[in-house]
A and B are shown apart, each in its own frame.
Chain A
Amino acid sequence: MPRALAGVLIECDPSIKAIIVKIDLEHHNDIVIVDIDDEHVLIKNDKHELLKQLLKDALKDTVREAEDSSESE
C-alpha cells in the first residue's frame, strides 16, 4: 500500500548532510524524518527554518570567510 510522508526534501552535499545528521542528533532526532541517502534527507515541515539557521551557525564556526582585501584604487 503506497504511503505519502509530508515534509521538506533537503538536497545538499554529503559534507553538509553529515552536519545535518549531527544537528539532528543534538536535537533528539526531532528534525529528520527519513534519512534517504548521502545527499537527501526528509525533514519535518516546521523544522525547515530552524535547520537553516542551525546550519548557518554551524558553518560559521567551521568555514572561515576569506577576507576580500579590496585592492587599491
Chain B
Amino acid sequence: MSTTASQRALDYLEQLPGTTFTKLYQHPSTALAIFRRMLPHFAKTLVLALLYLPGSFRATDLDTWVKTDTASRRARDRSLDVLKRLRILFEKPDEAGRAGYALSPAFAKSLRLALTGGGEHGSFGVPCSTTGSEAAAAASGVGIEELDNFARRQWEGILYYVVGAANAGLGATSGQTISAGTAQLLQKGEFVAVRGRKATITQSGFTFLLQDTNAQVWTLLIVYLEVCGSLGMEAVEVLGFLFTLGSLELGVAYSPANLTPTQHQMLEDLSDFGLVYRPPSNPSTPNTPYYPTRLSTTLTSDAPALPSNTSDPNQPPNQTQQQKGYIILETNYRLYAYTTSPLQTALLSLFSTLKTRYPNLLTAKITKPSILSALALGITSNQIITYLTTHAHPILAHAQATHGTPVLPPTVVDQIRLWQLEGERMAGFPGYLIRGLEGEGEYERAVRYAEALGVLRREFKGRREFFVTRMDQMSGYFRGEAGRRKAREAGNGEG
C-alpha cells in the first residue's frame, strides 16, 4: 500500500547532503527502516548479497543475475539508481580496476547490527525496565485499545481542522482542538490557507485528505522535517528518531532518558499528532515514559496505520464500517451518505449542499454553486470524483460488478467535469515556440524529434512553427543539426 508515502519520504531523503546520510546511517534502526521500506525488491536482494562481502562486487557479475529482457534491466537500473541516490551503494573498482559496487561501510555496519543484534546503541528505543513498565502500564492502564483511540482522536482532530476549518458553523464540532504548533505546520505545508481569520482548505489539503492514513502521516512529517531546521532542531536527529519510532513495539513503554534535547522537543510535537502517547499525570517531567501509537509503529512497515483501515475481524464493527464506502450518488444529483462522522460530513459539505441529517444518514445534493465553491478553493473536479468513487457505497460497487455499470452515474460525473471546464475558457501551457526553421524537411525532422521526446504540444504547419513544453533536449538537437550542416557545407565547399 501507499507507494506514494514511501515515495515522498524517498524524495525528501534524496535531496539531503551526503554528510547527513553518514550521520543517519550510524543508527541501526535507520538502516533497517530504509532497507525494509524504501528499497525495491531487487535492491534488497543486492544489499543482502553485498552485506557480508569484504571486497567489491563486479558489475559484470551483477549482469549475470539479470535476465536480458527490458523489464528486468529496467528493474536493475532503477534499483541501482535508488541505492546510489540514498548513498547506500557506491561504485568501487576491484583490485584489477574492473567496475564494481560496494556498500557504504556505515550502512553495512548498522544493517548487520540491526539484523543480527548486538551493540549498546539504544537505537531501537530503550524500554522501561520490565517490572517498571508492567507496573506503569497497570497503574496508568495504557492498553493498546486506548493508544489506538488516542491516536485516532488526535489524527482525526488534525484532519477535521483541515476540512472543518471552513465550516465551523456546521455545529458538528468533534470536541477536538489541535495545538497552535500543529495548526502552523498545516499552514506551512499549505494544506490550509488562512484568509482573514479563517483557515480554509487548499488543493493540496484536499489531496492530503484523499490519501490513506500512513501517507498522510508521512506527508505531514515531511513538512515537519522541512520546518524543524528553523525551530533550532537537527533534521538528522528528527529523522533518526522517526525511524526509531517505526521499529518500536506497540503497547510498550519506552524511556526517554537517552534522547537528545531535540528529540525531547519532538516528543511534545509528536504527541500532538497522536504518534506517541505520554501519560497525562506528569507530562512536564522529562522522564515520563512514552508509548508509541500505531501511527508511529507502522511508519516504516506496510501495516495499516489506524486499525479502522483494516477489515480485521478483531476490530469492533462500528470502526470497520467507517472506512467502507458510505456514499450513494443518484442520477438526479442527490447524494446519500451513511455516516455519523463529523469529519466526513464536513468533507462532503465542501462540494455538496447538505439537506437533511438523520441519526445515521445524511442527504445532500450536488449543485452547480456547491461544485463552483469547491473549485474556487482549488479542489479539482477529478479530486471530487475520485473521492466519491473511492468512498462509494458497496451497493454501487456491487452494481458495477454484476451489471458492468460505472460506479457513479456518468451524467453526474460528466456534469461535474463540465462545470469545471466552464470556468476554464482557456488552457495555458508554459513552454517554447520554435520558429524560423528553413525548409520543409528540416521542419518535419525537428517536429518528429520533438514528438518522439514527448515534448511536442502542438504544431502549426502553415506557419512552420511548433510549440514544445521543454527546451533542453531540443536545443541539443538543434546544435547537433547546425554542426552537421556546417560539416556538410564544408564538405560541399571542398568538393
Which residues in chain B, 405-445, are within 8 Å of chain A measured between CB atoms?
425-438
* Residue B465 interfacial (CB < 8 Å): yes
Bound-state Cα–Cα, A70 to B365, Å: 10
Q: Pick the residue among B365, B426, B458 that contacts A16 (CB under 8 A).
A: B426
Contact with A along B453-466 (1 / 0, CB 8 A): 00001101011010
CB distance from B190 to the nearest CB of A (A): 17
Which residues in chain B, 465-486, are within 8 Å of chain A measured between CB atoms?
465, 467, 471, 474-475, 478
Chief secondary structure at chain A's binding surface: strand
* Residue A25 interfacial (CB < 8 Å): no
CB distance from B484 to the nearest CB of A (A): 14
| B436 and A55 contact, CB distance less than 8 A | no
| A40 and B434 contact, CB distance less than 8 A | no
Given A20-B426, A37-B460, A73-B355, are A9 and B431 also a contact pair (CB < 8 Å)?
Answer: yes
* Residue B367 interfacial (CB < 8 Å): yes
Given A4-B475, A9-B458, A70-B365, are A36 and B436 also a contact pair (CB < 8 Å)?
Answer: no
Given A36-B465, A68-B367, A73-B355, are A42 and B478 also a contact pair (CB < 8 Å)?
Answer: no
| B436 and A59 contact, CB distance less than 8 A | no
* Residue B250 interfacial (CB < 8 Å): no
Given A37-B460, A68-B367, A68-B369, are A45 and B430 also a contact pair (CB < 8 Å)?
Answer: yes
Bound-state Cα–Cα, A9 to B426, Å: 10
Bound-state Cα–Cα, A59 to B424, Å: 11
Which A residues are in CB contact (< 8 Å) with B153? none
Given A10-B426, A11-B426, A13-B425, are A5 and B432 also a contact pair (CB < 8 Å)?
Answer: yes
How many residues on the A side are at the interface (Cβ–Cβ under 8 A)? 31
Which B residues are in CB contact (< 8 Å) with A36? 433, 460, 463, 465
Which B residues are in CB contact (< 8 Å) with A16? 425-426
| B368 and A68 contact, CB distance less than 8 A | yes
Task: Choose among A2, A33, A36 the residue with the greatest number of B CB atoms under 10 Å from its CB.
Answer: A2
| A9 and B355 contact, CB distance less than 8 A | no
* Residue B446 interfacial (CB < 8 Å): yes
Which A residues are in CB contact (< 8 Å) with B430? 7-9, 45, 48
* A13 and chain B: residue at smallest CB distance: B425
| B428 and A4 contact, CB distance less than 8 A | no
Bound-state Cα–Cα, A11 to B424, Å: 11
Bound-state Cα–Cα, A13 to B368, Å: 23
Which residues in chain A, 8-58, are within 8 Å of chain B measured between CB atoms?
8-13, 16, 20, 33-34, 36-37, 40, 42-43, 45, 48, 51-52, 55
| A3 and B365 contact, CB distance less than 8 A | no
* B443 and chain A: residue at smallest CB distance: A2
Which A residues are in CB contact (< 8 Å) with B428? 8-11, 43, 48, 52
| A1 and B436 contact, CB distance less than 8 A | yes
- 15 chain-A/chain-B pairs, Cβ below 8 angstroms: A2-B436, A4-B433, A5-B434, A9-B429, A9-B430, A9-B457, A9-B458, A9-B467, A10-B428, A11-B427, A11-B428, A16-B426, A48-B430, A52-B428, A70-B353
CB within 8 Å of B: which residues of A? 1-13, 16, 20, 33-34, 36-37, 40, 42-43, 45, 48, 51-52, 55, 59, 68, 70, 73
List of 10 A-B pairs having minimum Cβ-Cβ separation, nearest first = A12-B426, A4-B432, A5-B433, A8-B428, A3-B436, A9-B429, A16-B425, A68-B368, A11-B427, A9-B467
